[in-house]
A and B are shown apart, each in its own frame.
Chain A
């Protein structure tokens, strides 16, 4: 069963001269991890908004095609209902604070309050979120008195704690240290294993190759490739993506005739080790 189905999706922002998205069609199976990659301005965030219903309900413009969330047409379903199905962590971690709460714990609680979660349950869920995102030490600090990475952890924790069946994460690790990135990726993997559906925009291709079920490549607003990570990422350089050093080294070695021509470029440490060992 697919959690998200996108058909011929196109979108033009109100004051924009050209389309941000054109003719996008794909499906996201449940309990999968789908990665979206693309250069700056390719349309990744716009697609995220559309998946979570913020297009057309929040951002105005000309939307074509359709997005179905667990079978519901996003155009026909109110945003208040969609957000209980699809959680969206925005790209900019600095402006996701509710403004009504004074501590990190309270900020995480905000979404649960809105969903009407009983207080006793809140307690365990908040404690788990604090631990998962390494925020225990700042739990009682103001959400405004945090480092950049801590703010991003808070933004993610606030969405994760709501436990939506589908989660769309727009560059969730942009401010995180490598260890934090690893923890978030592990959490994503666990959630997918438990049946949650994840859509992930990410520049760190090594991680995509490690855990994505499928990769979608956006280029100038169009879906130019989709498939298994290792195959798709072969031409990462042509789409302006940050190739892994493994792939770069392999490409250069290939050009110099140091390795066989017909082997796929490696994207993970394991692939690279095998690639260069032979």
Chain B
């Protein structure tokens, strides 16, 4: 069932300040969602979905499947052509993007669609300032976001003077600082080196501790199965599968969604193992076991 805590509603004025203690449970509910772009492209076709508060979901699927279109519905950037999107008790049709920003932080696929301030610090402070965070806490939040995203050294740099991968981290940091109960990331893994991916994994862990709901679009399946207990597979405007890494054992799902199985799954199959380990540690444990039984 859906838990409804409309703690951000203006008439609960006492609720806004003690966000940390109220620990909101905002489930997401998408029902019979259709979406067509103004030029007539039908990008979503009857998508129904429930995402429980605190979930950590990776959205995967082929180019043009509708992943970006889907997640843009979660903070009202796009409004359904048909159907409804509920963020807790809020229907996105009835709330402005700015209101929804209190509940959902959104990191764009293209960092340049998101950055508009003249320094990294200001960029990060922009969101919390709009959410009327007090000055003292604002600085603390900015400092924390800078640290979590490894941006301390470029605090005062103009975002346009940074490299693409750093700009991506600025966009992530500016959402970290908003401390929303739901975070949506559109392709955060793109172009990241090993340190970047590790940092991202750490951040996901941090969000997990804070019971933040995380929905991330990614093409990096190896990362997805390691870091996300739940996968959502999209193809041609529809969700064609949902579940843990085992959904990728279905050959037809992979084919329809333009996916290759993760490396360890392919390897386990090639070795003739019955089930596929989701990470390197599990793989090696399985290997050790099979060596012992030999």
Partners in one complex: yes
Of B39, B165, B221, B287, which one neighbours A253 at CB under 8 angstroms? B287
Of all chain A residues, which has the CB nearest B186?
A148
In the assembled complex, which residues on chain B have CB atoms less than 8 Å from the CB atom of A258? 284, 287-288, 291
Of all chain B residues, which has the CB nearest A93?
B110
Of B109, B259, B270, B287, which one neighbours A178 at CB under 8 angstroms? B259
Whether, in the assembled complex, B264 has its beta carbon less than 8 Å from a beta carbon of chain A, the answer is: yes
In the assembled complex, which residues on chain A have CB atoms less than 8 Å from the CB atom of B197? 242
On whether the beta carbons of A177 and B219 are closer than 8 Å, the reply is yes
- How many of B's residues come within 8 Å of A, CB to CB? 48
On whether the beta carbons of A148 and B109 are closer than 8 Å, the reply is yes
In the assembled complex, which residues on chain B have CB atoms less than 8 Å from the CB atom of A180? 62-63, 258
How big is chain A's contact interface, by range?
35 or more
Q: CA–CA, A175 to B217, complex, Å?
A: 11
Whether, in the assembled complex, B21 has its beta carbon less than 8 Å from a beta carbon of chain A, the answer is: no
On whether the beta carbons of A40 and B193 are closer than 8 Å, the reply is yes
**Considering the complex, which residues of chain B in the window 101-150 have a beta carbon less than 8 Å from any beta carbon of chain A?**
109-110, 112
In the assembled complex, which residues on chain B have CB atoms less than 8 Å from the CB atom of A269? 263, 266-267, 270
On whether the beta carbons of B284 and A95 are closer than 8 Å, the reply is no
On whether the beta carbons of B284 and A178 are closer than 8 Å, the reply is no
Whether, in the assembled complex, A31 has its beta carbon less than 8 Å from a beta carbon of chain B, the answer is: no
Q: CA–CA, A40 to B195, complex, Å?
A: 9
Shortest Cβ gap from B193 to chain A (Å): 4
Q: CA–CA, A277 to B269, complex, Å?
A: 12
Whether, in the assembled complex, A252 has its beta carbon less than 8 Å from a beta carbon of chain B, the answer is: yes
Whether, in the assembled complex, B1 has its beta carbon less than 8 Å from a beta carbon of chain A, the answer is: no
Whether, in the assembled complex, B191 has its beta carbon less than 8 Å from a beta carbon of chain A, the answer is: yes
Of all chain A residues, which has the CB nearest B61?
A177
On whether the beta carbons of B192 and A40 are closer than 8 Å, the reply is yes
Residue picked from B65, B219, B257, B288, most chain A C-beta under 10 Å: B219
Of A94, A150, A272, which one neighbours B63 at CB under 8 angstroms? A150
On whether the beta carbons of B41 and A141 are closer than 8 Å, the reply is yes
Of all chain B residues, which has the CB nearest A245?
B263
Of all chain B residues, which has the CB nearest A171?
B191
In the assembled complex, which residues on chain B have CB atoms less than 8 Å from the CB atom of A41? 163, 165
Q: Identify 25 residue pairs between A and B in the complex whose beta-carbon atoms are under 8 Å apart, listed by A's number.
A: A39-B194, A40-B192, A40-B196, A92-B164, A141-B39, A141-B41, A145-B37, A145-B39, A146-B64, A148-B110, A150-B64, A175-B190, A175-B219, A176-B63, A177-B63, A177-B219, A181-B219, A241-B193, A242-B193, A242-B194, A244-B263, A249-B280, A253-B288, A256-B284, A273-B267
